[in-house]
Amino acid sequence: MIVSFIGGDLFAQPAIDTVHPFFKGKLDKKVGLLYDFFEIGASTIKPPKGKRYNDVILSVFHSKNLYINTVFNKQDAPAELNAFRINKSYSQITGTYQYTSAVPLFDSVPVIVTAYGIDSSNKDLYRFRVVKNKTEEIVPWSRIRFFSPVFMHYRYNVDGTAQTRMAYLGQFWEKPGNSITVEVKNLRVPDTVYHISAVWLKRAPEIIATFTPETMKEFISVYKYQWKNDKAGADGPSYYGDITLPPVDSLLVIKQQFTHHENSPFFYLNDKVKAANLVEYNLMSGKDSSGWIANDFDPNIIRLQQLAPGNYALLLRYAFQRQTVSRFSFTIVPAWYQTVWFKMIAGILLLLAAMSAYLIIKTRRQKIKIKEQQTFNRVAQAEIRSVRSQFNPHFVFNALSSIQGLITKNDIEAAHAYLNDFSRLLRNALKESEKDFISLSKDISLIDHYLKLEQLRFGFRYQISVDEKINKDAIEVPVLLLQPVIENAVKHGVSGMRESGLLTIDYYIHTNDLQITVTDNGGGYNNGSTKGHGLKLTDERVILMNQLLKGRSVAWQITNTAGGTQVVFMLKNWLL
């Protein structure tokens, strides 16, 4: 018989022209390396007198990857074998499971079925067939065509000769959950049917005990006990056979909760496999997964190491039946310093400590900066006051010069009027000069009073124009900032022009800036290389103010034209 692949599945099919290569020559140790052996005997009832035909003994060669009948699996056979029970009148020849005509299977290695008592000399007396799940005939009654050397010796024909050949009936495989039964009948005795079965079962590793490094003594006791008492396996009993060991049932404890000290657990499995890597596991924690990993520790044991606290699911499967998976859930309980609340509190305390350190450092730096800034401000303000204080004598000197001029002209009435207005102007100027900033309306009022006095003396014309969008009472400007420029415009610009002299002062809004323009039509008072004392003081004052102003600044420029002189002050970001 051969194995055919139809649509990706493996089905039992009638023999064509082949025998498994291992069964073509002498059946030696190479067969034992790949296959385990199962067969049942003939009835122990005394055969009829004058019997002229051999009894047929059917054998199943099957995979030896997995052994489920261990000392810790004390059932005689899986429940699925109950349907294949036979009475005790049959003698068990080989195999783990007694009083059953079926062997349980778990992987994709096909079984090979042979029959002792049938060879090429008597083959015509026998027919065989294969039935799936005891009902579906997948190989009809057929002649036996192939033979192989015997695997078990010292078996004899009815004539007393030793059997050297046996019938090769084929190799078969089915999906888990199915069975096949091979039946053989003697045509001379139609009611005599010999049969043997194979049942493919779903199977995944199951955990029967858990251990940790702290319970290593108990673990070793269980391990020794199993290898002393298990009779089925690749090599049979171990060298513990002559050692008396106490029962270990009480040591088979399953824990699903481990302390943080027990984070390297051992998981003891119920079945025995030929090699450790035939067991595969996938350790899952939340959405994290290790992926499927072949076990590399021991055929009966899975060891996990240094697990972090948390909830886990250990998925288990056999490499030869990956579609069947078992699941074992367990928890590593965190230590108090590994808990979420402790980490949160520690994190908050660490954050508070970091913030406190940052605030302390920042506060110290700010205090240093504030002290430095206060020192700088005091120095700058002192310098500004020093500069501004020089405006007052400069203004007074110019005003007194004007009064002297009126007295020289013998214009006593005008001198009295000028002196009266001058005293009022001087009082207001000195009063406001103590401040750094005054409202635009007051500053314009001081400028207007001053120009009226100078107009009495020189007779020129002047205009003060304010953009209607400007709220004069809401805007503050540096006190007497324009005074030196206006004095120069009068003295060096329009003083000798009488009624033809014109001085204009214009206030504009330019986006967020306040622009002030002082224009006269005189002969000019700045040649671009030298400045008078009042203009130099203005330069110094602007430089010092710009060092103190935050987000604002003052710029100014003098331009001489053919028609006179223009001075532009730009108070930047003044309207924000």
Q: Report the chain (576 residues): mean pLDDT per 10 consecutive residues.
A: 33 52 75 83 57 86 86 76 81 75 87 94 94 94 92 86 92 92 90 90 94 92 84 47 74 93 93 91 92 92 93 95 95 80 82 89 83 64 53 63 72 74 73 79 90 85 94 90 89 89 94 94 66 78 84 91 90 90
CATH 2.60.40.10 in the chain is located at 207-337
Q: What is the pLDDT of residue 44?
A: 47
Q: What is the pLDDT of residue 8?
A: 33
Q: Are strands 9-12 and 266-269 parallel, antiparallel or unpaired?
A: unpaired
What's the CA gap between 416 and 394, in Å, rounded? Answer: 21
Cα→Cα distances 512→474, 502, 546, 554, Å: 14, 29, 17, 13
Report helix, strand or coil for 22: helix
Residue 61's H or E segment, with its range, is strand 57-63
Q: What is the pLDDT of residue 19?
A: 77
Please give the model's pTM, rounded to 2 decimal places.
0.57
CATH class label, 375-572: alpha beta
Q: Which residues contact 499 (CB under 8 A, 6 or more apart)?
A: 459, 460, 461
Q: Are 132 and 79 in contact (CB under 8 A)?
A: no
Among residues 354, 84, 336, 335, which one has the least CA distance to residue 200?
Answer: 84
> How many Cα atoms within 13 Å fall on the side-chain side of residue 569?
24
Report helix, strand or coil for 335: coil
What DSSP assignment string belongs to 233-286? Answer: SSS-S-GGGGS-----GGG----SEE-GGG-S-EEEESSEESSGGGEEEEEEET
Q: Are strands 321-332 and 257-258 parallel, antiparallel or unpaired?
A: parallel
Q: What is the pLDDT of residue 74?
A: 67
What's the CA gap between 548 and 544, in Å, rounded? Answer: 7
CATH 3.30.565.10 in the chain is located at 375-572
In one-letter notation, the amino acid at residue 46 is K
Which homologous superfamily does the CATH classification assign to the domain defined by 207-337?
A: Immunoglobulins (2.60.40.10)
Report helix, strand or coil for 156: strand
Q: What is the pLDDT of residue 252?
A: 92
Q: What is the pLDDT of residue 530?
A: 55
What's the CA gap between 348 and 350, in Å, rounded? Answer: 5
